[in-house]
Amino acid sequence: MAHRLGRNQYGKAETRVVRIVRDSDRHDIRDLNVSTSLRGDFADAHIRGDQAQVLPTDTQKNTAFAYAKLHGVDSIESYAIALGQRLLEACPAATSAQVSVEEYAWDRIGDHSFVRRGGGVRTAVVTSGRGRRHVLSGVKDLVLLNSTDSEFKGFLTDEFTTLPETDDRILATSLVATWRHTGADSRTDVDWNASYDAAVATLLGAFAGTYSRALQETLFAMGDALLEAQPELAEVRLSAPNRHHHLVDFSGFRVDGLTNDGEVFVATDRPYGLIEAEVTRDGAPPAGDAWLAVPGFC
């Protein structure tokens, strides 16, 4: 019985392209998830294993990065049009190129600091005992990014250390912060909404306003600022995965004059460093079993 090859396509899915525009001290960010696919006469690749007409998916990925610099990202539509046209030029066997782009929007909180649009997820855990109540307020999935003013150097090394030192990097995280109120068992006049809004504003301000020599330093600065701003809080716990952004290496691209001067990055979500810390007010009443219901860092 004869069989024939039906419709087929191939490409590179979900290339995380982050473009930082550094034309001035006030940076801009375009954060993209790019998928490309080519359709056409690729029967030889499927039936005979002949790759002569196949543009590698790795090349498609590299082109997505390069065009973020060469074409720019004024809009995801114009970027996708330019990228698709380039892929057709590079792969004569393709009859069509499909480029799908998702853009993650960010709101500015400083000249080079941003929070993912939509903010985080508000959380609350209340533990009520007989004669005692604990209230934990918080936020999770608060995605933050500084495009500069972050370094990481002078760290301990051994024979397995390959991480290079850097004095200028992207610092990004998806923050989980939880803070414990004091006197919650007796107070009835707490404006919980105002307290939450002020707490998030304080955390954002500290993140944007702290020159970071490590994510640990940033976390302590955020917790310290929150306790300073709200005397009724006893402690704050912070958990921050380090969302790594790696500078894309353009040195292997055969394009004259194409350099990557801290402008195009690949965002990765695993593995990641997980930095966690607790900042506690001196003399604060004990938490009791307030934290037992809170998963994760304790």
Tell me if residue 12 is catalytic.
yes
- 223 C-beta neighbours (distance < 10 Å), count: 24
Residue 75 per-residue DSSP state: -
Residues 12, 27, 61, 112: which is the catalytic one?
A: 12
Closest CA to 145 of 29, 232, 297: 29
Residues 57, 59, 182, 280: which is the catalytic one?
A: 57
Q: Which helix (H) or strand (E) holds 208?
A: helix 192-209
Residues 69, 134, 244, 245: which is the catalytic one?
A: 244
Place of tokens 């039936």: 47
Tell me if residue 71 is catalytic.
no
Q: Where are the beta strands (DSSP E) in the chain?
A: 9-21, 28-40, 94-104, 106-108, 113-116, 121-128, 133-146, 171-181, 233-241, 245-247, 264-267, 274-280
Mapping DSSP to helix (H, G, I), strand (E, B) and coil, where does residue 106 land?
strand
Tell me if residue 244 is catalytic.
yes
CB-based contacts of 189, cutoff 8 Å, min separation 6: none
Residues tagged active-site: 12, 57, 244
